[in-house]
Amino acid sequence: MATWNKIASPKEYQTALQRVDELIDVDHTEATHNELMLLSYLIEEYEDDQYPIRDASPLRVLKFMMKMKDIKQQDLIPILGSKGNVSKILRGKAKLQLEAIYPLSTFLGIPVEALIPGPQNQYADSSFVSEIAEPKRRYKKKEGK
């Protein structure tokens, strides 16, 4: 069994991958099992460091789920409001209102967190969701008052 340290270069990474391939094809003893487990950990650590997978933005999640479930813009109107509002949200021109996140996540069958930018979704575009749900103005202020 070779001595392994933290993988620090692409060459060391390739060597570790080759060794894993070798270990998979041999009879498993306690030593080979331990080496395989150690290499798996070191390879995963290197890959996480060198090739991080970023979280998808809420807008990308929404578009992906629409494609996967064959959801049309008109299907979102009852949740997001008018056809124009749905269109603006999907183009990134309008923000997703907080009051729509839970119904939208339920409709899409995904966790609420997938539609909320923030620490749990650090790469998301925070402008996609309004900081606070602004109430819609239902009346006009009368002039002179």
Q: What confidence tens digit (pLDDT) does each residue in 10-54 have?
A: 999 999 999 999 999 888 899 999 999 999 999 999 998 998 877
Q: What are the tens digits of pLDDT across the range 98-130? A: 899 999 999 999 999 889 876 554 434 444 544
Looking at per-residue pLDDT, the higher value among 97 and 145 belongs to: 97
Same domain as 44, residue 83: no
pLDDT score at 142: 52
Domain count, the chain: 2
Looking at per-residue pLDDT, the higher value among 107 and 57 belongs to: 107
Q: What are the tens digits of pLDDT across the range 134-143? A: 444 444 455 5
Query: Would residue 139 count as lying in a domain?
Result: no
Q: How far apart are CA 48 and CA 42, in angstroms?
A: 10
Query: Would residue 35 count as lying in a domain?
Result: yes
pLDDT score at 139: 44
pLDDT score at 138: 43
Same domain as 45, residue 67: no
Question: Which residue(s) pair with 118 in the sheet?
Answer: 121
Same domain as 29, residue 74: no
Specify the pTM. Answer: 0.52
Say yes or no to pLDDT of 145 above 90. Answer: no
Same domain as 119, residue 72: yes
At 118, is the secondary structure helix, strand, or coil?
Answer: strand
pLDDT band at 1 (very low <50, low <70, confident <90, very high): low
Provide the domain limits for residue 120. 58-128
Q: How many alpha carbons lie under 13 Å from residue 91 in its C-beta half-sphere?
A: 8
Look up residue 28 and give its amino acid: H
Q: Which residues lie below 8 Å from residue 53, measured CB to CB, with a gap of 6+?
A: none
Residues 52/122, Cβ–Cβ less than 8 Å: no
Q: How far apart are CA 12 and CA 49, in angstroms?
A: 14
